[in-house]
């Protein structure tokens, strides 16, 4: 399934979460968003966003200092 990509590299919290939240609001149920972050706090904050909003956290992976978090809007 295709993912929309949000490049939040170089941004510090809360900006990655706020930008992800704004993008997810505009998406339809079932669509996926991948957020690429470099802030070490952002992956946990994105997990909390999923818990609070009921989004599905699909996973995370890290490569070369960039963490990619995948979320599905429910």
Separation CA 15–CA 1 (nearest Å):
26
pLDDT tens-digit map of 12-56: 989 999 999 999 999 999 999 999 999 999 999 999 999 999 999
* Sequence-ordered list of residues with C-beta below 8 angstroms from that of 51, at least 6 positions apart, any chain: none
Q: What is the CATH number of the domain that holds 28?
A: 3.30.110.40
- Is residue 74 classed as helix, strand or coil in its secondary structure? coil
Mean of the pLDDT values across residues 51-63? 97
Domain that holds residue 62: 3-72
The total domain count for the chain is 1
Report, as residue numbers or ranges, the catalytic residues.
Answer: 13
Is this model's pTM higher than 0.85 or not? yes
The answer to whether 38 and 67 have CB atoms below 8 angstroms apart is: yes
């Amino acid at each position: 399934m295709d993912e929309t990509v949000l490049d939040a590299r170089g941004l510090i919290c809360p900006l990655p979460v706020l930008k992800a939240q704004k993008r997810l609001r505009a998406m339809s149920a079932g669509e996926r968003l991948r957020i690429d972050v470099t802030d070490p706090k952002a992956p946990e904050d994105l997990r909390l966003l999923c818990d609070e909003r009921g989004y599905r956290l699909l996973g995370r992976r890290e490569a070369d200092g960039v963490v990619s978090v995948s979320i599905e809007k429910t």
